[in-house]
Amino acid sequence: MAGTCVGYLVQADREPTALPPLSQPSVAQAKGAGPEPLSAAQDREVKADGDLRRLLLKKPRGARAPLFTTGSDGWMSLADYAETYDRPASGFADLVAGEFRRAAVTDWRESSTYSVEIRLVQYRQEETLGAADAADSGYYWADKDAGTDGRPIPGTGDGMAYVRNKPHSKPGYVDVYSAEAHAWRGDIAMEIWVYDTKPVPKTKIMDLAKRQMERL
């Protein structure tokens, strides 16, 4: 206690310490014109908030309409997208919780057996990272399938492409091989699905994934 009292007395006898001046040296303002604003093509936020269908890969020349069209006019509603889940009711609830915003889709056939479907699914991302979570879910389910060969998609961070070496078999139906790709950028998750009656080459799914991600 005595030491504390002495400390107070010593401090009381000292001259008050002057405070530093409030004014600071003025900083010279840079001269010259500022950077040009980004064009709509360069500004990703402008692209992502526009017509999402414009970011989808264009159908190749000579492509035919799919046997079963997904969505309507290039869009999938929340209910449409939930129907792609094994349990649509549970999927609907998960998509609402994940802040689903909208989904754009394109699909085509290049032969009587080879078909492609690409989805761009956008999330609001106010409370959750919906796009990243969607990609993680895609990786999880693809990795669970036996006979699936996964490869990273260059330039996409953690994007992955998968090829199934065993066909999906069902009595009375032709065996179908498939490949898929999942990646995300910003608030958009990308999904690509390829089907054929013969094994899908890795180069096919990888090329589609890389070209689609370059547009985001």
CA distance 47 to 69: 25
Percent of residues in the chain assigned helix, strand, coil, to nearest 5: 30, 25, 45
CB neighbour list of residue 196: distance below 8 Å, 6 or more residues apart: 113, 114, 115, 176, 177, 178
Residue range 47-76, pLDDT digits in tens: 678 899 999 999 999 899 888 888 899 999
Q: Pick the residue with more confidence: 30 or 95?
A: 95
Residue range 159-177, pLDDT digits in tens: 999 999 999 888 888 999 9
Residue range 2-26, pLDDT digits in tens: 444 444 344 445 555 555 555 555 5
Whether the predicted model's global pTM rises above the 0.75 cut: yes
CA distance 198 to 177: 6
User: What percent of the chain clears pLDDT 70, i.e. is strictly above it?
Assistant: 78
Residue 137 phi, psi (nearest 5): -65, -40
